[in-house]
Amino acid sequence: MTKILFGLKTLYFGFALLLTFTAHAQSTTVSGTVTSADDGFGLPGVNVIVKGTTNGTVTDFDGKYSLNVQDANATLVFSYIGFTTQEIPVNGQSVINATMTEDATALEEVVLVGYGTQIKRQVTGSVQTIDAQELADIPVSQVTQKIQGRLAGVQINQTTGKPGQGMSVRIRGQLSVSGGSDPLYVIDGFPISGGINAINPDEIEDITILKDAASTSLYGSRAANGVVLITTKTGKAGETNVSFNTSTGIQYVPERGRIDMMDAVEFAQFKKEYYEDQGDPVPEIFQDPSQYEGKTNDWYDALLRTAPMQNYNLTITSNKDKLKTSVVAGVFLQDGVVLNSDYERYSLRVNLDYAISDKVRVGFNVAPNHIIDNVPRTDGSRGTGILFNALHTWPIMPIYNEDGTRTTFNRFPADTGNIFSYANWLTSAEQIKNETKEVNILSNAFIEYKPIEGLSIKSSINAEFYNSKYEFFSPSTATYRINVPIPTTAEAIWEDENDFSYLNENLVTYTKNFGDHDFSLLGGFTYQKFRRDFSRVAADTFADDRLPTIQGAANINRGGTYDRVQEWSLVSFLSRLTYNYKGKYLLTAAIRRDGSSRFGADNRWGNFPSVSAGWIMSDETFMENQEAISMLKLRASYGVTGNNNIGNYTQYALIDNTVNAVFDNEFAPGSAVSSLSNSNLGWETTKQFDVGLDLSLFNDRVAFVYDFYTKNTTNLLYNVQVPRESGFTNFSDNIGEIKFWGHEFAVNTVNTTGKFKWTTNANISFNRNEVVALAEGIDRVYGPGGWHITKVGEPFGQFYGHLSDGVYLNQEDLDNSPQVPGRSTVGSIKLIDVNGDGVITRGGDDDDRAIMGNPFPDFTYGITNNIKYGNWDFSIVGTGSQGNELLVRHLYSTTNLDGVFNLLSDVKYRFRSEENPGRGFYGTTVGGGNVTGIERDWINDRFVADASYFNIRNITLGYTLDGVDRFFKSARIYASVQNAYIFTKYWGGPNPEISVQNDGNGDGGNLASGVDISGYPVPRIFSLGLNFNF
């Protein structure tokens, strides 16, 4: 949070004194300590000057000062941002101690808004800010991990535990059919082209989330998903600070929440019973299950490890004379909890801000970083993700040979029912390289000119460079697939990506006050351009595993080898008028006009206006007697924003130039139009209305914020199917409507002050959505796997499948119940006849499937407590989500009743006979795939699990060391636990926040969210940290 004192002049006065400090004559020395009335501690950085002179100093870290005073009758002036200035006559004293009290009225917090700042009191939109200082102790690599649960209306999920990856951020539940849903990230005023995973959190000063249309509409066609503004560190006035922070941690996957699979004995017992129930002879290896006692091969566990992590950051900030600088250098090293996974980040940021004269200021920021990460193919469905493969590998298959060496490959004879063979997954994890090396460079330069009072003209140039090299190599001795004998064909993929984004921004701000009327007018013009050059080579069949080079490959895979160029440009005009009357009647109107290369030629420009108003009721005379209420503000806003994530070239009819022919037995290059053009293609439009209330009670001891919003997203980008008589399959159009609404509550309380200082910050959010319309004549869209439905009148992306009702317990039950014709038997799964036609069918819109679950929570919440007592500090952060469900997709293998894979331990309680019906949950194994296939392939409500959770996300205990001031200004030591404990009933895996599509790449898109296929687990982390300030 940025704080400024309206009486900034005193500060400058102070600096001026410092300059002349050495020029004093013979005098007496006055010294003393300046403390804070709040906690009694010494207050560093307080300006102490002799009134009426330029003679002064600044208190040191302990609040001590010493000043030569020439006139014994002089008066000392003590001033500090946010505190009431004090004057104390010297009266010949040589020791003068001062106690500073916080000054609520002189202090005006300002917050960052789009293209400027505003006094927090006067903000009329829905804006929330987090000071990065609060996040410093959390031992994770990504800033989004640190802010989980701290913001009302912002749902952040860690969908996979892969180091450095997997955070999903949704502001106010925004989503779309095929456009992206990630918010726009703006770093120091620069809307970057991607996410913020790569940024060293230690570079960040604060994070501001813009939620409603009034605060985001200045970002126009990119604002519909919300905007996250990030400010990086700058020097604090008058200070030079050098700090070094380091932490080291240990990560591991807790036992709690792991999938309860059969051990070797249980598995052999299952197989034995399988053959017995079938009436077939039991293969020898299953005849005596007890022989496997203590011989379980837990393949999943074998892939996990306890892994170290380390973080080092050196920060230097300085703000002296005309120059403000900050330098942050960081190294973050993390080994993953899955074998052979690791993440390294080396980062640097240099920010400079120089005042050339009173009227002209220039600044330069540059922030390069380098990231290397390697994660074997852990996440993915059967046959594509090593963790899933390991999960369902038979526990009687040996990881190690008798002699202690690793097995290379496991396949049992066909008569054991082993139809899939498996490589040794430990070898796969260790030998398969899946590495990305990135270089990111973010840079800005600006010049600001203030020709007259109240007028500022600022022009900036911003550039973002990104380069990544991806290398995948699976040697002949390893595979991530199943059923691939070792040795196999070695495969490789190389990808090379270069991105460049350039932004020129020109802003004019004019602020003027006429009596009770305050005006501020902003006008701007911006131009941004992005280009990505991407190339990919896929090859296989290498002469030697030690030389995974392109020239070493016998075969280049043409289908996987290509070049891509992606470009877009955006030209924008923007303006905002802010007006207030007597500081209590507030009005803001803003508009942005965006022209984008992504929009069709007949729809190239979009206007994104917003208006908002606020009333500070507590400033009215009739409220004067309400002692308890220190501030009450009512807010309302309405505006239009867009989502331009519609693809760069979707509007064009593209030519496919790989439609090649043959003539005279020779290759003949050919081309054909491969898509329909749409010159009217445009952004997705979101119209949002927000009402809010800010209430502070008991002298700001309690601060409460409430918001209600409702928004409608229309013109969703959608690939409408067209009849293929046209020669095409679909047409990209703006179609359909989704309605969103929600409530957000946040409260901050100062529970105790003084030596024992305790603050609490809590929030809860309720987000809802409903599909209002899809394309003409279409009332539903199925997800990619067919397990989700997005249907008019229902919330988006609901789980869709059959509803189950136990198993058919006996012949009578079977005869009297609807059946799957030719497949249902006594003991097989009993499904509900939803369409009432007397039989159970699957396929088409009118079959027996129904909505069976909802991936969206009823509400999400977070609570943070901070306690300070003397030198001790303690904080605990909890985050939760209630009512959300997950589709436990791995059950199609892990409850496969044919005994092909290892199974959930609970499958032992399946139906075996009328006399032994088990728990009426898992069906009979008799009848083969014709019978058992229904249970696993016809996704049903048994796959849906409640994933509500409350996670003690972080606990930190710190101690500030005394008596170190000979060496450092200050030093602090702390211990921290991340993901300390998760309270949940979720049984499908260790991570109730998981969401992976069946291909294991990314979060599956909005049409298919909330799927668990046993991805990379999220570790618990114990860490120890040290902070030094020099």
Partner 1 sequence: MKKIYLFLVMLGVLATGCEDELTIFPEDSLSVPTFYQTQVDFEQAINGTYVPLRTIYNQSKAYLGEMHSDNTYYARNTAFGATEQQEDVADFAIPTDNGITTNNHVTNIYVEHYKIIARANQILVTIDEAEFDEAEKNNIKGQALFLRAFSYFDLVQFFGSVPMHLVPVLSREDAALPLSSPDEIYAQIIGDVQTAITLLPPKSQQQAGRVTSGAARTLLANMYIVRQQWAEAETQLRAVVNSNEYELMPNYEDAFSGNSDNKNNMESVFEVQYKEGAEGLNGSFLYNFLPRPITAEEVGAITQTSNPQPLNGEGNNIPTPDIIAAYEDGDLRKDASIQYVTLSESFWRDGTYPIIKKYVEPHSLHGNHGMNFPVYRYSEVLLFLAEALEEQGKSGEALPFLNQVRARAGLGDPVGDLGEAIFRERRVELAFENKRWLDLVRTGRAVDVITAYGNRIKSNPNDYYYPEGAEPRSNAFTNISLTFGLPASESSLNPNF
Q: Which long-range contacts (CB under 8 A, 24 or more apart) does 481-487 make?
A: 481/383, 481/384, 481/423, 482/382, 482/383, 482/389, 482/420, 482/421, 482/422, 482/423, 483/383, 483/420, 483/421, 484/421, 484/423, 485/409, 485/411, 485/421, 486/408, 486/409, 486/423, 486/424
Binding mask 612-651 for partner 1 (x = CB under 8 A): ------------------------------------xx--
CB nearer to partner 1: pick between 13 and 649:
649
Nearest approach in angstroms of CB 1007 to partner 1 is 20
One character per residue 571-600, x = contact with partner 1 (rule: CB under 8 A): x-x---------------------xxx-x-
Beta bridge partners of 696: 631, 703
Instruction: Rank residues 699 and 729 by Cβ distance to partner 1 and give the closer one.
Output: 729
Q: Establish if 782 lies at the interface with partner 1 (CB under 8 A).
A: no
Quick one: 471 or 567, whose CB is closer to partner 1?
Answer: 567
Q: Which residues pair with residue 231 across a beta bridge?
A: 206
Distances (CA, A) of 340 to 9, 161, 619: 57, 14, 61
* Nearest residue to 365 via CA among 459, 458, 460, 457: 460
Rounded Cα gap, residues 436 and 470, in angstroms:
4
Q: Residue 172: left (phi > 0), alpha (psi -120 to 50), or beta?
A: left
d(CA 846, CA 852): 16
Q: How far is the CB of 669 from partner 1 (least distance, A)?
A: 6
414 interacts with partner 1 by CB under 8 A:
no
Question: Closest separation between CB of residue 576 and partner 1, Å?
Answer: 16
Find the binder of partner 1 among 312, 346, 412, 449 (CB under 8 A): 449
Q: What is d(CA 747, CA 728) in angstroms, rounded to the nearest whole number?
A: 54
Q: Closer CB to partner 1, residue 494 or residue 568?
A: 568
Out of 664, 821, 838, 915, the only residue in the binding site for partner 1 (CB under 8 A) is: 664
d(CA 612, CA 713): 20
Element holding 94 (H helix, E strand): none
Q: Are 325 and 318 in contact (CB under 8 A)?
A: yes
User: Among residues 100, 676, 717, 897, which is the contact residue for partner 1, using CB under 8 A?
Assistant: 676
The two tokens of residue 689 are 């209305």
One-letter amino acid at 812 equals E
- Which positions from 691 to 730 touch partner 1 by CB under 8 A, shown as an x/- string? -----------------------------xxxxxxxxx--
Residue from the set 547, 623, 653, 839 that interacts with partner 1 by CB under 8 A: 653
* Binding flags for partner 1, 194-233, as an x/- string (CB under 8 A): ----------------------------------------
x/- binding map, residues 515-534, to partner 1, per CB under 8 A?
----------x-x-x-----
Q: Which is nearer to partner 1, 514 or 667 (CB)?
A: 667
Least separation, in Å, of the C-beta of 489 and partner 1? 13
> Looking at beta carbons only, is 622 or 663 nearer to partner 1?
663
**Least separation, in Å, of the C-beta of 779 and partner 1?**
13
Q: Could you tell me how far CA 982 lies from the centroid of its own chain?
A: 19
> Taking CB under 8 A as the rule, does residue 25 contact partner 1?
no
If we measure between CA atoms, which residue out of 1026, 895, 872, 883 comes closest to residue 957? 872
Q: Is 451 in the site for partner 1 (CB under 8 A)?
A: yes
Residues 499-518 interacting with partner 1 (rule: CB under 8 A): 506, 508
Nearer to partner 1, 299 or 731 (CB): 731
Nearer to partner 1, 453 or 664 (CB): 664
From the list 119, 250, 439, 455, which residue makes contact with partner 1 (rule: CB under 8 A)?
A: 455
Nearer to partner 1, 433 or 593 (CB): 593
Nearer to partner 1, 244 or 510 (CB): 510
Per-residue contact string for residues 555-574; x = within reach of partner 1 by CB under 8 A = ---x----xxx-xxx-x-x-
Q: Name which of 31 and 677 has its Cβ closer to partner 1.
A: 677
Residue placing its CB nearer to partner 1 in the complex, 136 or 591: 591
CB 791 within 8 Å of CB 773: no
Contacts with partner 1 by CB under 8 A: the residue count is 61
DSSP state of 281: P
Shortest distance, position 862 Cβ to partner 1, whole Å: 42
Q: Which is nearer to partner 1, 25 or 452 (CB)?
A: 452
Min CB(565)–partner 1 separation in Å: 4
CB 671 → partner 1: shortest distance, Å? Answer: 4
| Closer CB to partner 1, 127 or 717, in the complex | 717
Q: Segment contacting partner 1 (CB under 8 A): 205-213, 674-682, 846-854, 856-864?
A: 674-682
**Minimum distance of partner 1 from residue 843's CB (angstroms):** 10
Alpha carbons 195 and 442: distance in angstroms, whole number = 13
Which residue from 19, 356, 550, 673 is in contact with partner 1, where contact means CB under 8 A?
673
The reply on whether position 663 binds partner 1 by CB under 8 A is yes
Q: How far apart (Å, rounded) are the C-alpha atoms in residues 647 and 566?
A: 9
Q: How far apart are CA 553 and CA 539, in angstroms?
A: 6
834, 848 Cβ separation under 8 angstroms: yes
Q: Decide if 406 contacts 424 (C-beta within 8 A).
A: yes
Phi, psi of 655 (to 5 degrees): -100, 125
Strand partners, 1028: 244, 971
Q: Write the interaction track for partner 1 spanning residues 278-317; mark x where CB under 8 A is met and - where it is not.
A: ----------------------------------------
Distance CA 921, CA 911 (A): 7
Q: Strand 240-252 and strand 1020-1029: pairing?
A: antiparallel
Pick between residue 622 and residue 667 the one whose CB is nearest to partner 1: 667
Task: Give the position of tokens 């007006």.
Answer: 579
Q: How far is the CB of 725 from partner 1 (least distance, A)?
A: 5
- Type of residue found at 523: G
Tell which residue, 319, 326, 315, has the closest CA to residue 1029. Answer: 315
Nearer residue to partner 1 within complex by CB, 349 or 576: 576
What's phi and psi for 621, nearest 5 deg?
A: -65, -35
Return the range that interacts with partner 1 (CB under 8 A); candidates 396-404, 652-660, 702-710, 962-970: 652-660
What's the rounded Cα separation, in Å, for the pair 315 and 133? Answer: 13
Q: Which residues pair with 521 in a beta bridge?
A: 510, 577
Residue span 730-769 as binding mask against partner 1, x where in contact by CB under 8 A, dash where not: -x-x------------------------------------
Choose between 356 and 601: whose C-beta lies nearer to partner 1.
601
Greatest alpha-carbon span in the chain: 111
Q: Which residue has the tokens 């289908």?
A: 559
Nearer to partner 1, 287 or 555 (CB): 555
Q: What is d(CA 606, CA 683) in angstroms, rounded to the nearest whole number?
A: 8
At closest approach, how far in Å is the CB of 837 from partner 1?
17
Q: How far apart are the first and last CA of the chain?
A: 23
Alpha-carbon gap, residue 332 to 324, rounded angstroms: 26
Residues in the site for partner 1, rule: CB under 8 A? Answer: 449, 451, 455, 457, 506, 508, 525, 527, 529, 558, 563-565, 567-569, 571, 573, 595-597, 599, 601, 604, 648-649, 652-657, 659-673, 676-678, 720-728, 731, 733
